[in-house]
Amino acid sequence: MSPTIDQALHSARARLAEARFEPALREANLLLSRTLGWNEARLLARGSDDLDDSRLARFQGMVERRLSGEPIAYILGEKEFFGRTFFVDRRVLIPRPETEHLVEITKILHLPAESRILDIGTGSGCLAVTLLAEMPRSRSVATDVSLAALRVAASNGRRHKVSERLDLVAADLGSAVNLAAFDLVVSNPPYIGRDEAPSLSPEVRDFEPEEALFAGPTGHSLLQRLLDTLSDLKIGTPLLFEIGAGQADFVADSAASSAFDLEALHPDLAGIERIAQLRRR
Protein backbone atom coordinates (compact mmCIF):
# COMPACT_ATOMS: atom_id res chain seq x y z
CA MET A 1 0.00 0.00 0.00
CA SER A 2 1.27 3.50 -0.84
CA PRO A 3 2.28 5.62 2.13
CA THR A 4 0.67 9.00 2.67
CA ILE A 5 2.69 12.20 2.41
CA ASP A 6 2.78 12.42 6.21
CA GLN A 7 4.05 8.86 6.55
CA ALA A 8 6.79 9.39 3.93
CA LEU A 9 7.84 12.62 5.63
CA HIS A 10 7.86 11.00 9.05
CA SER A 11 10.16 8.18 7.98
CA ALA A 12 12.52 10.54 6.06
CA ARG A 13 12.75 12.88 9.06
CA ALA A 14 13.57 9.99 11.37
CA ARG A 15 16.36 8.76 9.07
CA LEU A 16 17.82 12.25 8.57
CA ALA A 17 17.69 12.99 12.30
CA GLU A 18 19.33 9.66 13.12
CA ALA A 19 22.16 10.55 10.74
CA ARG A 20 22.34 13.98 12.45
CA PHE A 21 21.20 15.97 9.43
CA GLU A 22 19.57 18.86 11.22
CA PRO A 23 17.12 20.43 10.76
CA ALA A 24 15.75 17.07 9.60
CA LEU A 25 12.14 18.24 9.60
CA ARG A 26 12.80 21.18 7.32
CA GLU A 27 15.08 19.20 5.00
CA ALA A 28 12.53 16.42 4.58
CA ASN A 29 9.88 19.04 3.78
CA LEU A 30 12.13 20.74 1.22
CA LEU A 31 12.99 17.49 -0.53
CA LEU A 32 9.38 16.30 -0.76
CA SER A 33 8.16 19.76 -1.82
CA ARG A 34 10.72 19.63 -4.64
CA THR A 35 9.66 16.10 -5.63
CA LEU A 36 6.03 17.14 -5.91
CA GLY A 37 6.65 20.63 -7.31
CA TRP A 38 4.60 22.06 -4.44
CA ASN A 39 5.33 24.74 -1.85
CA GLU A 40 5.67 23.69 1.79
CA ALA A 41 2.28 25.08 2.84
CA ARG A 42 0.51 22.86 0.30
CA LEU A 43 2.64 19.89 1.32
CA LEU A 44 1.68 20.23 4.97
CA ALA A 45 -1.98 20.82 4.17
CA ARG A 46 -2.17 17.64 2.03
CA GLY A 47 -0.44 15.27 4.44
CA SER A 48 -3.13 12.58 4.17
CA ASP A 49 -2.83 12.26 0.34
CA ASP A 50 -1.22 9.07 -0.97
CA LEU A 51 2.22 9.30 -2.52
CA ASP A 52 2.45 7.25 -5.75
CA ASP A 53 5.32 4.84 -6.33
CA SER A 54 7.31 6.93 -8.79
CA ARG A 55 7.22 10.06 -6.61
CA LEU A 56 8.02 8.03 -3.52
CA ALA A 57 11.05 6.54 -5.33
CA ARG A 58 12.24 10.01 -6.42
CA PHE A 59 11.83 11.36 -2.89
CA GLN A 60 13.68 8.40 -1.37
CA GLY A 61 16.46 8.87 -3.94
CA MET A 62 16.92 12.45 -2.75
CA VAL A 63 16.89 11.40 0.90
CA GLU A 64 19.58 8.80 0.14
CA ARG A 65 21.73 11.47 -1.53
CA ARG A 66 21.35 13.66 1.56
CA LEU A 67 22.20 10.73 3.83
CA SER A 68 25.40 10.22 1.80
CA GLY A 69 26.39 13.75 2.91
CA GLU A 70 25.61 15.63 -0.32
CA PRO A 71 24.71 19.26 0.49
CA ILE A 72 21.00 19.95 0.19
CA ALA A 73 21.65 22.85 -2.20
CA TYR A 74 23.07 20.44 -4.79
CA ILE A 75 20.12 18.07 -4.40
CA LEU A 76 17.61 20.90 -4.77
CA GLY A 77 19.76 22.47 -7.51
CA GLU A 78 19.51 25.94 -6.05
CA LYS A 79 20.61 28.31 -3.30
CA GLU A 80 19.48 31.73 -2.14
CA PHE A 81 22.02 34.56 -2.30
CA PHE A 82 21.21 38.17 -1.43
CA GLY A 83 17.48 37.52 -1.92
CA ARG A 84 17.78 35.78 -5.30
CA THR A 85 17.77 32.11 -6.19
CA PHE A 86 20.82 30.75 -8.03
CA PHE A 87 21.18 27.46 -9.90
CA VAL A 88 23.92 25.38 -8.30
CA ASP A 89 25.32 21.92 -8.88
CA ARG A 90 28.60 20.17 -8.24
CA ARG A 91 30.39 22.32 -10.84
CA VAL A 92 30.32 25.34 -8.49
CA LEU A 93 30.81 26.36 -4.87
CA ILE A 94 27.52 26.83 -3.03
CA PRO A 95 27.18 30.60 -2.37
CA ARG A 96 27.69 31.38 1.33
CA PRO A 97 25.96 33.99 3.52
CA GLU A 98 29.38 35.49 4.44
CA THR A 99 29.85 36.47 0.81
CA GLU A 100 26.66 38.56 0.95
CA HIS A 101 28.62 41.04 3.09
CA LEU A 102 30.78 41.79 0.09
CA VAL A 103 27.68 42.92 -1.82
CA GLU A 104 26.62 45.10 1.13
CA ILE A 105 30.05 46.73 1.26
CA THR A 106 29.87 47.77 -2.41
CA LYS A 107 26.97 50.02 -1.34
CA ILE A 108 29.23 52.15 0.90
CA LEU A 109 31.67 52.76 -1.96
CA HIS A 110 29.31 55.16 -3.80
CA LEU A 111 30.22 53.76 -7.19
CA PRO A 112 29.11 55.45 -10.41
CA ALA A 113 25.79 54.03 -11.68
CA GLU A 114 27.46 52.88 -14.91
CA SER A 115 30.29 51.07 -13.16
CA ARG A 116 32.30 48.35 -14.83
CA ILE A 117 32.86 45.51 -12.39
CA LEU A 118 35.38 42.68 -12.59
CA ASP A 119 34.45 39.51 -10.64
CA ILE A 120 37.41 37.14 -10.33
CA GLY A 121 36.58 33.46 -9.73
CA THR A 122 32.88 33.89 -10.38
CA GLY A 123 31.75 30.27 -9.78
CA SER A 124 27.93 30.30 -9.84
CA GLY A 125 28.11 33.98 -10.81
CA CYS A 126 26.44 34.95 -7.54
CA LEU A 127 28.55 38.09 -7.05
CA ALA A 128 28.59 39.41 -10.63
CA VAL A 129 24.90 38.63 -11.23
CA THR A 130 23.80 40.15 -7.91
CA LEU A 131 25.80 43.33 -8.49
CA LEU A 132 24.41 43.66 -12.02
CA ALA A 133 20.87 43.17 -10.71
CA GLU A 134 21.44 45.71 -7.92
CA MET A 135 23.06 48.25 -10.29
CA PRO A 136 20.96 48.11 -13.48
CA ARG A 137 23.28 50.35 -15.53
CA SER A 138 26.50 48.57 -14.61
CA ARG A 139 28.39 45.99 -16.69
CA SER A 140 30.53 43.11 -15.53
CA VAL A 141 33.30 40.83 -16.71
CA ALA A 142 33.47 37.62 -14.68
CA THR A 143 36.40 35.21 -14.91
CA ASP A 144 36.94 31.64 -13.83
CA VAL A 145 39.47 28.92 -14.63
CA SER A 146 36.62 26.40 -14.68
CA LEU A 147 34.66 26.28 -17.95
CA ALA A 148 32.07 24.16 -16.19
CA ALA A 149 31.56 26.90 -13.59
CA LEU A 150 31.25 29.54 -16.31
CA ARG A 151 28.35 27.56 -17.82
CA VAL A 152 26.53 27.72 -14.48
CA ALA A 153 27.25 31.45 -14.21
CA ALA A 154 25.80 31.90 -17.72
CA SER A 155 22.57 30.14 -16.64
CA ASN A 156 22.33 32.40 -13.63
CA GLY A 157 22.91 35.46 -15.81
CA ARG A 158 19.95 34.36 -17.97
CA ARG A 159 17.82 33.50 -14.95
CA HIS A 160 18.25 37.00 -13.54
CA LYS A 161 18.09 38.73 -16.93
CA VAL A 162 21.52 40.35 -16.80
CA SER A 163 23.24 38.33 -19.57
CA GLU A 164 23.48 41.29 -21.91
CA ARG A 165 25.62 43.11 -19.35
CA LEU A 166 27.73 40.11 -18.32
CA ASP A 167 30.82 38.87 -20.17
CA LEU A 168 32.15 35.52 -18.99
CA VAL A 169 35.83 34.85 -19.60
CA ALA A 170 37.89 31.71 -19.03
CA ALA A 171 41.04 33.15 -17.49
CA ASP A 172 43.52 32.90 -14.66
CA LEU A 173 42.47 35.66 -12.22
CA GLY A 174 42.24 38.91 -14.27
CA SER A 175 44.86 37.94 -16.83
CA ALA A 176 42.78 38.14 -20.02
CA VAL A 177 41.09 41.48 -19.37
CA ASN A 178 42.01 45.13 -19.64
CA LEU A 179 42.28 45.95 -15.94
CA ALA A 180 42.36 49.71 -16.48
CA ALA A 181 38.72 49.58 -17.67
CA PHE A 182 37.20 48.67 -14.28
CA ASP A 183 35.68 50.78 -11.49
CA LEU A 184 35.50 47.91 -8.98
CA VAL A 185 37.07 44.48 -8.58
CA VAL A 186 35.43 41.83 -6.40
CA SER A 187 36.56 38.31 -5.66
CA ASN A 188 35.83 35.38 -3.43
CA PRO A 189 38.90 33.34 -4.33
CA PRO A 190 39.73 29.86 -3.04
CA TYR A 191 41.48 30.44 0.29
CA ILE A 192 41.58 27.15 2.17
CA GLY A 193 44.98 25.51 2.67
CA ARG A 194 45.40 21.94 1.42
CA ASP A 195 46.85 21.24 4.86
CA GLU A 196 43.42 22.01 6.35
CA ALA A 197 41.55 19.53 4.11
CA PRO A 198 41.35 16.80 6.80
CA SER A 199 39.56 19.19 9.18
CA LEU A 200 36.89 20.28 6.66
CA SER A 201 33.39 18.90 6.96
CA PRO A 202 32.87 15.99 4.54
CA GLU A 203 29.93 17.92 3.02
CA VAL A 204 32.41 20.52 1.80
CA ARG A 205 35.50 18.40 1.17
CA ASP A 206 33.81 15.53 -0.64
CA PHE A 207 31.29 17.46 -2.73
CA GLU A 208 32.39 21.00 -3.57
CA PRO A 209 34.88 21.54 -6.44
CA GLU A 210 38.52 21.35 -5.35
CA GLU A 211 39.52 24.34 -7.47
CA ALA A 212 36.90 26.42 -5.66
CA LEU A 213 38.20 25.53 -2.20
CA PHE A 214 41.96 25.16 -2.11
CA ALA A 215 44.82 27.57 -2.75
CA GLY A 216 48.21 26.01 -2.05
CA PRO A 217 49.30 24.44 1.22
CA THR A 218 48.35 27.43 3.41
CA GLY A 219 45.46 28.97 1.45
CA HIS A 220 47.41 32.19 0.85
CA SER A 221 48.64 31.67 -2.69
CA LEU A 222 45.71 33.18 -4.60
CA LEU A 223 45.27 36.09 -2.17
CA GLN A 224 48.92 36.96 -2.75
CA ARG A 225 48.64 36.57 -6.53
CA LEU A 226 45.52 38.74 -6.61
CA LEU A 227 47.47 41.61 -5.05
CA ASP A 228 50.52 40.97 -7.25
CA THR A 229 48.65 40.81 -10.55
CA LEU A 230 46.11 43.64 -10.25
CA SER A 231 48.55 46.54 -10.25
CA ASP A 232 47.33 47.68 -13.71
CA LEU A 233 44.03 48.83 -12.18
CA LYS A 234 43.44 52.60 -12.35
CA ILE A 235 44.65 54.51 -9.32
CA GLY A 236 41.78 54.76 -6.81
CA THR A 237 40.02 51.55 -7.94
CA PRO A 238 38.49 49.64 -5.01
CA LEU A 239 39.20 45.94 -4.60
CA LEU A 240 37.01 43.83 -2.30
CA PHE A 241 37.80 40.24 -1.58
CA GLU A 242 36.75 37.58 0.85
CA ILE A 243 39.30 35.96 3.17
CA GLY A 244 39.31 33.01 5.53
CA ALA A 245 39.34 33.04 9.34
CA GLY A 246 42.80 34.05 10.56
CA GLN A 247 44.02 35.49 7.23
CA ALA A 248 43.64 39.18 8.13
CA ASP A 249 47.28 39.60 9.28
CA PHE A 250 48.56 37.96 6.13
CA VAL A 251 46.46 40.34 3.99
CA ALA A 252 47.61 43.38 5.98
CA ASP A 253 51.28 42.38 5.54
CA SER A 254 50.87 41.57 1.85
CA ALA A 255 49.01 44.81 1.16
CA ALA A 256 51.83 46.84 2.72
CA SER A 257 54.23 45.67 0.02
CA SER A 258 51.65 45.80 -2.81
CA ALA A 259 50.16 48.52 -5.01
CA PHE A 260 47.10 48.66 -2.69
CA ASP A 261 46.15 50.41 0.54
CA LEU A 262 44.18 48.26 2.96
CA GLU A 263 41.23 50.49 3.95
CA ALA A 264 39.20 48.12 6.14
CA LEU A 265 38.67 44.54 7.21
CA HIS A 266 34.95 43.91 7.61
CA PRO A 267 33.74 41.21 10.03
CA ASP A 268 31.02 38.72 9.24
CA LEU A 269 28.13 37.98 11.63
CA ALA A 270 30.37 35.66 13.64
CA GLY A 271 32.84 38.53 14.18
CA ILE A 272 35.47 37.00 11.86
CA GLU A 273 37.34 39.46 9.63
CA ARG A 274 35.93 38.32 6.33
CA ILE A 275 36.02 41.01 3.64
CA ALA A 276 39.20 42.95 2.84
CA GLN A 277 38.59 46.40 1.36
CA LEU A 278 41.58 47.77 -0.52
CA ARG A 279 42.21 50.58 -3.00
CA ARG A 280 44.79 50.89 -5.77
CA ARG A 281 47.22 53.57 -4.62
Ligand X SMILES: C[S@@+](CC[C@H](N)C(=O)[O-])C[C@H]1O[C@@H](n2cnc3c(N)ncnc32)[C@H](O)[C@@H]1O
Binding interface with ligand X (CB under 6 A): 92-93, 95, 99, 120-124, 126-127, 143-146, 149, 172-173, 188-190, 211-212
Residue 104 CB, nearest approach to ligand X (Å): 14
DSSP states of 38-63 as a string?
--HHHHHHTTTSB--HHHHHHHHHHH
Residue 77 CB, nearest approach to ligand X (Å): 16
Beta strand 273-280 pairing with 166-170 = unpaired
H or E stretch covering 109: none
Q: Which is nearer to ligand X, 45 or 170 (CB)?
A: 170
Q: Which is nearer to ligand X, 42 or 158 (CB)?
A: 158
DSSP states of 77-106 as a string?
TEEEETTEEEE--TTSPPP-HHHHHHHHHH
Other C-beta atoms closer than 10 Å to the C-beta of 136 total 10
Q: How many residues does the chain have?
A: 281
Residue 264 CB, nearest approach to ligand X (Å): 19
Residue 115 CB, nearest approach to ligand X (Å): 18
Q: Which is nearer to ligand X, 32 or 73 (CB)?
A: 73
Partners of residue 168 on adjacent β-strands:
142
Q: Which is nearer to ligand X, 123 or 238 (CB)?
A: 123
Residue 111 CB, nearest approach to ligand X (Å): 19
Residue 156 has φ and ψ, to the nearest 5°, of -70, -35
Residue 81 CB, nearest approach to ligand X (Å): 8
Q: Which is nearer to ligand X, 69 or 216 (CB)?
A: 216
C-alpha 149/C-alpha 147 separation (Å) is 5
Q: Which is nearer to ligand X, 29 or 247 (CB)?
A: 247
Residue 142 CB, nearest approach to ligand X (Å): 8
Q: Which is nearer to ligand X, 79 or 165 (CB)?
A: 79
Q: Show the CA angle centred on residue 91, arms to residues 86 and 92, nearest 5°.
A: 50
Beta strand 184-187 pairing with 238-242 = parallel
SS (H, E, C) 193-237: CHHHHHHCCHHHHCCCCHHHHECCCCCCHHHHHHHHHCCCCCCCC
